[in-house]
Structure 1
Amino acid sequence: MAVFATEAEALGYMKTVAVAKSGFSSWAGVEPLKVWEGEAELVVTVRPEMTQHHGYAHGAIVGLMADNACAWAAASLAGDVVTGSYTIHFVAPAKGTRLRARGLVVKPGRRQVVVRAEVWSEAEGVKPVLCAVATAAIVPVG
Protein backbone atom coordinates (compact mmCIF):
# COMPACT_ATOMS: atom_id res chain seq x y z
CA MET A 1 0.00 0.00 0.00
CA ALA A 2 2.11 2.90 -1.25
CA VAL A 3 1.26 6.42 -0.15
CA PHE A 4 3.53 8.08 -2.71
CA ALA A 5 2.88 7.81 -6.44
CA THR A 6 6.55 7.90 -7.44
CA GLU A 7 9.99 7.51 -5.92
CA ALA A 8 10.71 11.17 -6.73
CA GLU A 9 7.59 12.23 -4.80
CA ALA A 10 8.67 10.21 -1.74
CA LEU A 11 12.20 11.58 -1.87
CA GLY A 12 10.91 15.14 -2.27
CA TYR A 13 8.67 14.71 0.77
CA MET A 14 11.60 13.57 2.89
CA LYS A 15 13.71 16.53 1.78
CA THR A 16 11.01 19.16 2.38
CA VAL A 17 9.33 17.69 5.46
CA ALA A 18 11.51 15.13 7.25
CA VAL A 19 14.71 17.18 6.84
CA ALA A 20 13.78 20.83 6.27
CA LYS A 21 11.15 20.87 9.04
CA SER A 22 13.21 18.82 11.49
CA GLY A 23 15.67 20.97 13.38
CA PHE A 24 18.03 18.12 14.25
CA SER A 25 18.09 16.46 10.81
CA SER A 26 18.42 19.85 9.14
CA TRP A 27 21.27 20.92 11.46
CA ALA A 28 23.03 17.62 10.84
CA GLY A 29 22.69 18.01 7.07
CA VAL A 30 21.08 14.62 6.53
CA GLU A 31 20.63 13.91 2.83
CA PRO A 32 18.04 11.33 1.77
CA LEU A 33 19.18 9.38 -1.29
CA LYS A 34 16.42 6.80 -1.58
CA VAL A 35 12.99 6.45 0.01
CA TRP A 36 10.82 3.95 -1.80
CA GLU A 37 8.87 0.74 -1.38
CA GLY A 38 9.98 0.02 2.17
CA GLU A 39 13.61 1.05 1.73
CA ALA A 40 15.55 4.16 2.67
CA GLU A 41 19.12 5.30 2.25
CA LEU A 42 20.62 8.50 3.63
CA VAL A 43 24.02 10.07 4.20
CA VAL A 44 25.51 12.74 6.43
CA THR A 45 28.95 14.33 6.43
CA VAL A 46 30.48 14.16 9.89
CA ARG A 47 31.57 17.60 11.12
CA PRO A 48 33.83 18.23 14.15
CA GLU A 49 30.87 19.30 16.32
CA MET A 50 29.27 15.87 15.70
CA THR A 51 32.14 13.90 17.23
CA GLN A 52 32.93 12.59 20.67
CA HIS A 53 36.25 12.85 22.56
CA HIS A 54 38.00 10.19 20.43
CA GLY A 55 37.06 11.99 17.23
CA TYR A 56 34.48 9.41 16.10
CA ALA A 57 30.92 10.33 15.17
CA HIS A 58 28.97 10.63 18.42
CA GLY A 59 26.50 7.84 19.19
CA ALA A 60 23.66 10.34 19.00
CA ILE A 61 24.54 11.04 15.36
CA VAL A 62 24.79 7.32 14.58
CA GLY A 63 21.42 6.90 16.33
CA LEU A 64 19.92 9.75 14.30
CA MET A 65 20.95 7.98 11.12
CA ALA A 66 19.54 4.62 12.23
CA ASP A 67 16.30 6.20 13.46
CA ASN A 68 15.80 8.20 10.27
CA ALA A 69 16.58 5.21 8.05
CA CYS A 70 13.97 3.15 9.88
CA ALA A 71 11.33 5.89 9.98
CA TRP A 72 11.81 6.91 6.36
CA ALA A 73 11.67 3.32 5.11
CA ALA A 74 8.40 2.91 7.02
CA ALA A 75 7.06 6.26 5.80
CA SER A 76 7.56 5.17 2.19
CA LEU A 77 4.79 2.61 2.84
CA ALA A 78 2.74 4.13 5.67
CA GLY A 79 2.91 7.92 5.21
CA ASP A 80 3.39 10.12 8.27
CA VAL A 81 5.09 8.19 11.09
CA VAL A 82 6.83 8.54 14.45
CA THR A 83 9.29 6.20 16.10
CA GLY A 84 7.67 4.07 18.82
CA SER A 85 10.94 2.48 19.89
CA TYR A 86 14.29 1.45 18.56
CA THR A 87 17.22 -0.64 19.70
CA ILE A 88 20.69 0.07 18.43
CA HIS A 89 23.86 -1.96 18.70
CA PHE A 90 27.15 -0.16 18.09
CA VAL A 91 29.50 -2.69 16.51
CA ALA A 92 32.49 -0.50 15.55
CA PRO A 93 33.61 3.12 16.03
CA ALA A 94 32.20 5.53 13.43
CA LYS A 95 35.66 6.75 12.40
CA GLY A 96 34.88 8.02 8.90
CA THR A 97 34.05 11.39 7.44
CA ARG A 98 30.59 10.30 6.34
CA LEU A 99 27.84 8.03 7.63
CA ARG A 100 25.51 6.08 5.36
CA ALA A 101 22.37 4.44 6.72
CA ARG A 102 20.08 1.96 5.01
CA GLY A 103 16.67 1.00 6.35
CA LEU A 104 14.50 -1.91 5.22
CA VAL A 105 10.95 -2.69 6.30
CA VAL A 106 10.76 -6.16 7.78
CA LYS A 107 7.00 -6.25 8.46
CA PRO A 108 4.53 -3.52 7.53
CA GLY A 109 1.37 -3.13 9.57
CA ARG A 110 -1.46 -0.71 10.28
CA ARG A 111 -0.44 -0.08 13.90
CA GLN A 112 3.30 -0.49 13.61
CA VAL A 113 5.95 -1.09 10.99
CA VAL A 114 8.96 -3.17 12.00
CA VAL A 115 12.18 -1.98 10.34
CA ARG A 116 15.88 -2.76 10.55
CA ALA A 117 18.78 -0.50 9.67
CA GLU A 118 22.51 -0.57 9.22
CA VAL A 119 24.78 2.45 9.63
CA TRP A 120 28.10 2.45 7.80
CA SER A 121 31.10 4.71 8.38
CA GLU A 122 32.83 5.83 5.19
CA ALA A 123 36.08 7.62 4.40
CA GLU A 124 37.85 8.39 1.13
CA GLY A 125 39.99 5.48 -0.02
CA VAL A 126 38.89 3.20 2.84
CA LYS A 127 36.46 0.29 2.74
CA PRO A 128 33.17 1.20 4.52
CA VAL A 129 32.81 -0.16 8.05
CA LEU A 130 29.55 -1.33 9.59
CA CYS A 131 29.30 0.68 12.80
CA ALA A 132 25.73 0.03 14.00
CA VAL A 133 22.67 -2.12 13.47
CA ALA A 134 19.20 -1.23 14.70
CA THR A 135 15.63 -2.44 14.77
CA ALA A 136 12.65 -0.19 15.25
CA ALA A 137 8.91 -0.17 15.74
CA ILE A 138 7.60 2.74 13.69
CA VAL A 139 4.06 3.99 14.30
CA PRO A 140 1.89 5.41 11.47
CA VAL A 141 0.15 8.61 12.59
CA GLY A 142 -1.44 9.83 9.34
Structure 2
Amino acid sequence: MPDLRDPNALPRMQAAFDRQGIMQTLGVTVDDVAPGRVTLCLPFAPHLTQHHGFLHAGVITTVMDSAAGFAAFTLMDAESEVLTAEFKSSFIAPARGQSFRVVGDVIRSGRTLTFAQAQAFANDNGVETLIATLSATMMAVRNPALRQPGSA
Protein backbone atom coordinates (compact mmCIF):
# COMPACT_ATOMS: atom_id res chain seq x y z
CA MET A 1 0.00 0.00 0.00
CA PRO A 2 1.45 3.42 -0.94
CA ASP A 3 2.32 5.95 1.73
CA LEU A 4 0.19 9.04 2.22
CA ARG A 5 2.00 12.35 1.79
CA ASP A 6 -0.87 14.08 3.61
CA PRO A 7 -2.43 12.40 6.68
CA ASN A 8 -5.73 14.15 5.83
CA ALA A 9 -5.71 13.02 2.18
CA LEU A 10 -8.63 10.61 2.43
CA PRO A 11 -11.08 13.05 4.08
CA ARG A 12 -9.86 15.82 1.72
CA MET A 13 -10.57 13.51 -1.22
CA GLN A 14 -14.10 12.85 0.04
CA ALA A 15 -14.71 16.59 0.54
CA ALA A 16 -13.47 17.34 -2.99
CA PHE A 17 -15.68 14.55 -4.39
CA ASP A 18 -18.69 15.95 -2.53
CA ARG A 19 -18.15 19.34 -4.23
CA GLN A 20 -18.37 17.85 -7.73
CA GLY A 21 -21.73 18.73 -9.19
CA ILE A 22 -21.32 16.23 -12.03
CA MET A 23 -20.98 13.30 -9.63
CA GLN A 24 -24.16 14.43 -7.85
CA THR A 25 -25.96 14.82 -11.18
CA LEU A 26 -24.96 11.30 -12.24
CA GLY A 27 -25.82 9.79 -8.84
CA VAL A 28 -22.27 8.53 -8.25
CA THR A 29 -21.22 7.61 -4.71
CA VAL A 30 -17.90 6.69 -3.13
CA ASP A 31 -17.86 3.02 -2.16
CA ASP A 32 -14.29 2.71 -0.90
CA VAL A 33 -11.17 4.84 -0.51
CA ALA A 34 -7.63 3.70 0.25
CA PRO A 35 -4.25 5.26 -0.50
CA GLY A 36 -3.90 5.12 -4.29
CA ARG A 37 -7.31 3.49 -4.89
CA VAL A 38 -10.87 4.81 -5.15
CA THR A 39 -14.00 2.81 -5.93
CA LEU A 40 -17.08 4.65 -7.17
CA CYS A 41 -20.62 3.32 -7.74
CA LEU A 42 -23.03 4.49 -10.42
CA PRO A 43 -26.65 3.34 -10.67
CA PHE A 44 -28.23 2.79 -14.07
CA ALA A 45 -30.45 5.71 -15.11
CA PRO A 46 -32.48 5.76 -18.36
CA HIS A 47 -31.81 9.48 -18.89
CA LEU A 48 -28.06 8.71 -19.14
CA THR A 49 -28.34 6.22 -22.01
CA GLN A 50 -27.44 6.40 -25.66
CA HIS A 51 -29.73 5.39 -28.54
CA HIS A 52 -29.30 1.61 -27.97
CA GLY A 53 -30.28 1.88 -24.30
CA PHE A 54 -26.75 1.36 -22.93
CA LEU A 55 -25.29 3.82 -20.46
CA HIS A 56 -23.57 6.47 -22.59
CA ALA A 57 -19.81 6.15 -23.09
CA GLY A 58 -19.37 9.76 -21.97
CA VAL A 59 -20.95 8.95 -18.61
CA ILE A 60 -18.72 5.92 -18.10
CA THR A 61 -15.65 7.92 -19.16
CA THR A 62 -16.55 10.75 -16.78
CA VAL A 63 -16.77 8.38 -13.83
CA MET A 64 -13.55 6.55 -14.78
CA ASP A 65 -11.77 9.93 -15.02
CA SER A 66 -12.98 10.85 -11.54
CA ALA A 67 -12.01 7.46 -10.07
CA ALA A 68 -8.49 7.72 -11.51
CA GLY A 69 -8.18 11.37 -10.52
CA PHE A 70 -9.32 10.86 -6.96
CA ALA A 71 -7.04 7.83 -6.60
CA ALA A 72 -4.18 10.15 -7.61
CA PHE A 73 -5.45 12.83 -5.22
CA THR A 74 -5.15 10.46 -2.24
CA LEU A 75 -1.37 10.36 -2.72
CA MET A 76 -0.78 14.08 -3.27
CA ASP A 77 0.66 16.44 -0.69
CA ALA A 78 -1.52 18.73 1.41
CA GLU A 79 -0.91 21.72 -0.88
CA SER A 80 -2.04 20.00 -4.07
CA GLU A 81 -5.26 19.62 -5.99
CA VAL A 82 -5.65 17.29 -8.96
CA LEU A 83 -6.39 18.00 -12.62
CA THR A 84 -6.50 15.58 -15.52
CA ALA A 85 -3.71 16.19 -18.05
CA GLU A 86 -4.75 13.43 -20.50
CA PHE A 87 -6.57 10.14 -20.73
CA LYS A 88 -7.45 7.35 -23.13
CA SER A 89 -10.51 5.21 -22.69
CA SER A 90 -11.30 1.86 -24.29
CA PHE A 91 -14.70 0.17 -24.36
CA ILE A 92 -14.76 -3.61 -24.13
CA ALA A 93 -18.48 -4.37 -23.77
CA PRO A 94 -21.76 -2.45 -23.79
CA ALA A 95 -22.60 -0.60 -20.57
CA ARG A 96 -25.60 -2.76 -19.76
CA GLY A 97 -26.64 -3.45 -16.17
CA GLN A 98 -28.41 -2.24 -13.07
CA SER A 99 -25.31 -0.64 -11.58
CA PHE A 100 -21.68 0.04 -12.33
CA ARG A 101 -18.53 -0.17 -10.19
CA VAL A 102 -15.55 1.94 -11.23
CA VAL A 103 -12.15 1.38 -9.65
CA GLY A 104 -9.34 3.91 -9.99
CA ASP A 105 -5.76 2.89 -9.16
CA VAL A 106 -2.47 4.75 -9.11
CA ILE A 107 0.27 3.17 -11.19
CA ARG A 108 2.97 5.68 -10.21
CA SER A 109 2.68 8.79 -8.10
CA GLY A 110 5.13 11.63 -8.62
CA ARG A 111 5.38 15.15 -7.22
CA THR A 112 3.82 16.74 -10.33
CA LEU A 113 2.51 13.89 -12.50
CA THR A 114 0.68 10.77 -11.43
CA PHE A 115 -0.09 7.89 -13.75
CA ALA A 116 -3.38 6.18 -13.01
CA GLN A 117 -5.86 3.76 -14.49
CA ALA A 118 -9.52 2.93 -14.03
CA GLN A 119 -11.73 -0.02 -14.82
CA ALA A 120 -15.52 0.07 -15.13
CA PHE A 121 -17.59 -3.02 -14.37
CA ALA A 122 -21.28 -3.52 -15.12
CA ASN A 123 -23.42 -5.47 -12.66
CA ASP A 124 -26.16 -7.14 -14.70
CA ASN A 125 -28.38 -9.43 -12.61
CA GLY A 126 -25.52 -10.29 -10.26
CA VAL A 127 -22.94 -10.91 -13.00
CA GLU A 128 -20.08 -8.42 -13.08
CA THR A 129 -18.44 -7.71 -16.45
CA LEU A 130 -15.50 -5.47 -17.29
CA ILE A 131 -16.88 -2.94 -19.79
CA ALA A 132 -14.23 -0.22 -20.07
CA THR A 133 -10.73 0.84 -19.12
CA LEU A 134 -9.00 4.20 -18.86
CA SER A 135 -5.35 5.18 -18.58
CA ALA A 136 -4.63 8.71 -17.43
CA THR A 137 -2.02 11.24 -16.47
CA MET A 138 -3.02 13.43 -13.54
CA MET A 139 -1.32 16.68 -12.62
CA ALA A 140 -0.78 18.08 -9.13
CA VAL A 141 -1.82 21.73 -9.11
CA ARG A 142 -0.51 24.00 -6.39
CA ASN A 143 -2.27 27.18 -7.51
CA PRO A 144 -4.45 28.47 -4.64
CA ALA A 145 -6.59 30.40 -7.16
CA LEU A 146 -7.94 27.06 -8.43
CA ARG A 147 -9.25 26.05 -5.02
CA GLN A 148 -12.88 26.40 -4.11
CA PRO A 149 -13.80 28.65 -1.18
CA GLY A 150 -13.83 26.59 2.01
CA SER A 151 -11.65 23.78 0.65
CA ALA A 152 -8.89 22.31 2.76
TM-score w.r.t. length of structure 2 = 0.83
Q: Which runs of 5+ in 2 are unaligned?
A: 143-152
Larger Rg, first or second structure (1 or 2): 2
Q: Which runs of 5+ in 1 are unaligned?
A: none
1:3 Cα shift? 4.3
Question: For each residue in 1:55-82, what CA deviation from the matched residue of structure 2 results, as whole angstroms up to 9, or x when unmatched?
Answer: 1110011101210110011001015201
Aligned length: 137
Could you tell me whether the CA contact under 8 Å between 2:49 and 2:55 is conserved in 1?
yes
Could you tell me whether the CA contact under 8 Å between 1:96 and 1:121 is conserved in 2?
yes
Query: Which residue pairs with 2:88 in the alignment?
Result: 87
Give the letter for the 2:4 counterpart: A
Query: Which residue pairs with 2:52 in the alignment?
Result: 54
Query: Which residue pairs with 1:23 in the alignment?
Result: 21
Q: What CA RMSD, in Å, does the superposition of the two structures yield over aligned residues?
A: 1.6
Aligned-partner Cα distance in 2 for 1:88–1:4: 29
Query: Which residue pairs with 1:13 in the alignment?
Result: 12
TM-score w.r.t. length of structure 1 = 0.88
Could you tell me whether the CA contact under 8 Å between 2:13 and 2:74 is conserved in 1?
no
Aligned-partner Cα distance in 2 for 1:75–1:90: 25
Could you tell me whether the CA contact under 8 Å between 1:15 and 1:31 is conserved in 2?
no
Could you tell me whether the CA contact under 8 Å between 2:92 and 2:130 is conserved in 1?
yes
Question: Which of 14, 36, 39 in structure 1 is aligned with 2:37?
Answer: 39
Could you tell me whether the CA contact under 8 Å between 1:14 and 1:32 is conserved in 2?
no
Question: For each residue in 1:9-67, what CA deviation from the matched residue of structure 2 results, as whole angstroms up to 9, or x when unmatched?
Answer: 61x4344322x322211101111122221111110102111111111110011101210
Aligned-partner Cα distance in 2 for 1:54–1:110: 43
Aligned-partner Cα distance in 2 for 1:58–1:99: 12
Question: For each residue in 1:90-122, what CA deviation from the matched residue of structure 2 results, as whole angstroms up to 9, or x when unmatched?
Answer: 010010121111111111111110001110011
Aligned-partner Cα distance in 2 for 1:21–1:40: 16
Could you tell me whether the CA contact under 8 Å between 2:13 and 2:73 is conserved in 1?
no
